[in-house]
Every structure is written in structure tokens, then in C-alpha cells.
Structure 1
Amino acid sequence: MNLADTVQTRHTVKAFEPGRVLPQAAVDQLLAVLQNSPSSVNSQPWHYVVASSPEGRARIAAAAQGQYAYNSPKILHASHVVVLCMSVEMDNTHLETILQQEDRDGRFHNAESKARQDQSRRTYVDLHRYELRDIPQWLEKQVYLALGGLLLGAAVLGIDATPMEGFDSGVLDHELGLRQRGLTSVVLAAFGYRSDQDFNATLPKSRLSREKIFTFI
């Protein structure tokens, strides 16, 4: 199956088959997609909480109650659920951590190139902090870049997936102790095997036409 066929046939799963667990090799590939996700100036302002046990999924499902209760079965019945979190600030410690990792990975030919990279990244951070004053929105965008790659990766691997924004981030942040770590939950992604109750699997895909969404110049 080529890429065009893959994106045409993938869909958001509405019901998972409980008890079926993804092979660890497949999960490891999904985690590799997340680890290697692109981000603006390689800022990597994210952290991922992966729930693979019934107890872990139940902790996440605690945030899918009340108006979000429709998502609880998806969380509980999936094989794995990933909480995609963002840093609430791009502080000096994080910037230094990225820079030193790049250095260890051989990204710099010399001290001057390392200093230029550091200054360039800090320039963008300061732009969003002071001029644009949109640090939270900028950091959140990077998490959604990671989500897009993750969903495409799952489709390529033939893994059923569901992204979810319907949860109480305050409840989940408290349950997972995220805010004490300078993090907040942004979006969930569940993976597993769709069940026969997945009504979305039988519905035709619906997208706006090429004529509507593309302009060729």
C-alpha cells in the first residue's frame, strides 16, 4: 500500500477491542516517531506519558468524565494511550539541555557553530516571549506537529488510532503530577485494535475537494 492509499483508508477509531495488546516492536516504532518529531528550532518542548497497563489507562480515564465520558471507553479499551504534554515555558535549563545533546550527537563542527546555534534558537524564543508574546501557543504547535507524525506513523504500520482533545486537562495534570514538572497535557492518542463496534470504520471518508483546499501558483 502506498502513502496515498494509507491516508485514504486510515480513520479515527471510535471503539477498541479490549484486551488486545500491540506488539512491543510496533510500540517502539511509534515511540521512535515521537522522539524524532520535528519542532521549530529543534525546541522539543514536549514530554510523553505512555500508559500500557489497565491501571495506567484508568488514571488517564479519570480525566474523561462528565462531558468527556464518551472518550472513557476508548482510553480504557485501547492497548496503549499516549498523553502528549507541552512545557509551559522555554527556560534556560531546557535550552542548555538541547544544546548539549546536539553537541553530543555531533551537530557542531566547532565552538563557533555551537554558539551560533544557541544564539539563533534563543532569538526565536525571545521573539515569541517578548514581541509576539505567544509562548504557550508556539509550544503547543510543536506538540501538534508531533501528533500529526504519530498518527501518520500509526497508519503506515497498520495500527488503529484515535486522537482525543475531549478530556479535562486540569484533572489529568493533577493525576499525573505534570504541573510540578513544568508540563501540561495537550492531547491524547490511543492505539490498539478496532472492535466491531467501531462504526466509523464503515463510513466513507469525507474531505473537502482538491479544488476547494489547494491553490496552485
Structure 2
Amino acid sequence: MSLIDDLNWRYACKWMNGAKVDEEKLDIILETIRLAPTSIGMQLFKVIVVKKDEELKTIYEKAAPRQHMIPGCSHLLVFAAYTDFDEKDITDYTDRLGKARGTEGEELEFYKKKYIEYAATMDRESIPEWMAKQTYIVMAYATIAAAGLGIDCTPVEGFDPGAVDEILNLREKGLRSTLLLPLGYRDKDVDRSIGLAKVRKSKEDIFIFL
């Protein structure tokens, strides 16, 4: 299928049937997340891959009781942004940059100084929101990748982040949950949303050409 066909095929799956996504396809989705763009390329997030039934049940019952696709999903991706951003993150990034591109010496120090100066101009109170936005970008890529593989997924904001953080001990790791993405396969016997017409604005109502 084409990309547009994939996007027309996918929908907000409400119920999943418990079938498992094979590891090869899961790896493609995870690699898509790894390769997705983020601001300054720093990837200030982690993705926790939850597949144990017991943990899925706990998250469903304690943090997302209205998200009925979670108990039947194959894997639950928990997107978690860093709780803070400092010079060490910049150093880690410039180290990766140096190794990937063979950059060293004065040139590498130039990049490090540039990013440190950029970070110094940022409003500290806005940094958590900025880092959270990066998880939305990579989640969108994961959603598209899943559709291309014929895997259902539903981006979830309607959950209790504090409860998820506690269940997965995220705060101890310097993380806070921002989004959930259950992966799996639609339950055709239960999900009444299957086959419903997609409701979207027209191109004329969305795009402004200048």
C-alpha cells in the first residue's frame, strides 16, 4: 500500500484481540522511533516497551481504565520525556556527533559551545514542555510505521501520568510519562469503530497557501 493508503487504513482502535506483534516488525517500529527527528537531535526521551500481561493489566487498572485496547495489546510503548536538561546532555550529544561524523578537536568544541549557548537562552520553565513535544514527534512516526506494517495502534493522552510514573518507577530514572501507544491487532468481534468513515476537515479548511 502507499503511505496514503496506510493512513486511510489506520483508525483509533478501541479494542485489541491479544494477538502478538512479531519481534521483527516491532524492531522496525522501534528503529523508526530511533531515526525520527527531534529538536537539535538530542532525543531527550526514553521509550519503555511493556509486554508483560501483569504490567499491562496494572497500567490499565490504575492509570488508564478507559483505554480498553491496553489489556489486549501486544506491546505498550510508554513515551517518557526527561525531567531535566543540562550540560551533560549536550556533551553526550556532541560525543555521539563526533563518533558518527568523525568530528573532533576545535570543530567539535564549536558545536558543544553553540548548543550550550542555545540552552542558556531557553526559559527553564518551558524546557519540560519542549522535551515533551519531542515525544509527540517520534510517536507520530511510530504510528505511521505501524500502519505500514498492518499493525494497529492508538495514541493515548487520556491516562494518569503520575500513576504510570509510579508503576514504572520513572521519576527515579529522571523521566515522566507523556504518551502511551498500544500496539496490536483490532478485535473485529468487539470494536464497533472498524470500517467507520474517517472524519477529517477538507484540504480547503486546513491549508492556507501564501
TM score, norm. by length of structure 1: 0.90
Query: What's 2:79 paired with?
Result: 84
CA contact (8 A) 1:37 1:149 kept: yes
In 2: Cα distance, 1:87 partner to 1:52 partner = 22
In 1: Cα distance, 2:162 partner to 2:102 partner = 38
Matches within 5 A, 1:103-182: 103-106=98-101, 108=103, 110-129=104-123, 133-182=125-174
| Deviation (angstroms), 1:62 | 4.1
| Deviation (angstroms), 1:107 | 5.1
Q: Tell me which amino acid in the other structure corresponds to 2:65.
A: A
CA contact (8 A) 2:87 2:116 kept: no
In 1: Cα distance, 2:102 partner to 2:59 partner = 37
CA contact (8 A) 1:63 1:169 kept: no
| Deviation (angstroms), 1:10 | 1.4
Query: What's 1:3 paired with?
Result: 3
Q: Tell me which amino acid in the other structure corresponds to 2:153.
A: A
Q: Tell me which amino acid in the other structure corresponds to 1:70.
A: R
Over aligned residues, Cα RMSD in angstroms?
Answer: 1.5
CA contact (8 A) 1:3 1:156 kept: yes
CA contact (8 A) 1:63 1:167 kept: no
1:193 aligns with 2:189: no
Whichever structure has more helix as a proportion of its residues is 1
After TM superposition, what 4+ stretches of structure 1 lie above 4 angstroms from structure 2? Answer: none
1:41 aligns with 2:40: yes
> Which residues of structure 2 form unaligned runs of 5+?
none
In 1: Cα distance, 2:54 partner to 2:93 partner = 33
> Which residues of structure 1 form unaligned runs of 5+?
none
- Residues matched between the structures, number: 209
User: Residues 62, 176 of structure 1: CA spacing in aligned structure 2 closer, same or farther, 3 A cutoff?
Assistant: farther
Query: What's 2:95 paired with?
Result: 100
Query: What's 1:207 paired with?
Result: 200
Query: What's 1:24 paired with?
Result: 23
In 1: Cα distance, 2:31 partner to 2:41 partner = 16
TM score, norm. by length of structure 2: 0.93
| Deviation (angstroms), 1:38 | 0.9
In 2: Cα distance, 1:124 partner to 1:78 partner = 41
